[in-house]
Structure 1
């Protein structure tokens, strides 16, 4: 049966005194050649009834297939002419319940709200802030949920690129990025309570950890005081710290770390034969080159050979050794055990003792020569 669509005025009757009203047969359209003003409510649809209870409704659409079609009849190609439609629910048995805005030229629903959506599923406040699950959005986009509010970024492969999905999630345990495609790994996490500038990237790409003023490509700062491990390298196998100078004129690469099959700490260049520097787990240090100390604080004991240097008499040295069981100025075994051994200072002390021993030997040589000459004189 053909639907009959009447205006509210037509529902009142076909009084011939109404201006601009043309009445025709029941199956004919009713055309008004003037504006139509309805001062009360309007019901449109097959299921509207006489005495409709509108409540506070001003306009009501009432039938089993509800659609509002916006058909743009612009004839020139320079004017926009796309058609749109508001669609309420599927028209098929067992279909979905929803409110949708349809691009009618392509039959695509570009906006849709399913029935049963919770309150404030989408809220735009007077400042233009958008709330998702939030009735009073505080920032430009405010997402609220009772358990782990999540933003999903999904590349579906429709443009020819490999599908990939990431989630950005926040909850009471942490803020994290989840690689959904690859086993829901969590490559990035922040625990609640992390300090300001826990991770900072400057405009020149320097990275600060604990500082917003990194002074190097990687700058780590802590203010807890006391002994603190600042960097820890951990692997299920040998690890290395690589320093690579890729300047073509002076290329060199140094590695500090472990060599597979060894527990020693080594300092090598990749093309070196053997280890340049090795520290064993037992505390032994091995170097293949020379050990050179260029400290300007070393007091080299050349002063021993000055004419005004007072060489300790051997009787005094003998008495000191008998009382202390070590040479004067040389640290004792107990002192070394308690304080460790300063190699630079020890080398200078030993050099001084060698130089003093040389002076003792020269003095003894002079005395031996003098006694030999005296013996020869007395034997004549």
Structure 2
């Protein structure tokens, strides 16, 4: 017959005696002990608590409450989890720094996909984020920009092998997002190349006004003088300005469209002028043919007159 030993420990420091009852078997196999104090990890201070053991286990697990009003859970003689006196929970650490502190491990959360009985990872990590081998994980950091009572940003960091984490993406308190940069000055600042199937830019004041009656295109002579003096088209930013401030895609496309439409008007005017010249040339050629014909006839008459002379 197996015997189970149950011992109750009073919270005032009064210890109850053990009670034994049979549950079948040939000897005590499992017991709960609140009478004896125990030490762990070589600490000189004895701890009161609850422990259970089995003859098949060389080191029994324990759960105890110590003088600092916390709870520790042990397996195989090692503390695995702690709830300290302030309510902080530590897994893998005996000194939790937050309400839930997980150390030397990763988190794997699985969820059911809609319409399926299979589980899929929601948040997962395959290795600890600190170590000498390649590792994966999620680093979330406060970016350190906020003082007392001030909002700060959120940094997502990654690392390669055992290198120090580097910021891959930063969300500032003002909503600006930086990829590859710690100082995003726009809603999205990217230090690198972007590849996309399509980019749509909202634009206003599209230059259809160029084709309105009364729009002054300007003379090409004036445009030539401006280009010689400034080395760029009117209304267009200079190279130095682009190098300093970057290129505003929407505004640049609008300005280029304006120049295309102005160039179209110049081409239309030049085409009209060219057709006028072509018409004049055609008329001149016709007159030239008439004159040549008249001169030829006149020469023929003169030749006949000369032949009739004695």
Question: Could you state the TM-score of these two structures normalised by the residue count of structure 2?
Answer: 0.43
Larger Rg belongs to: 1
- Report the structure, 1 or 2, having the larger helix content: 2
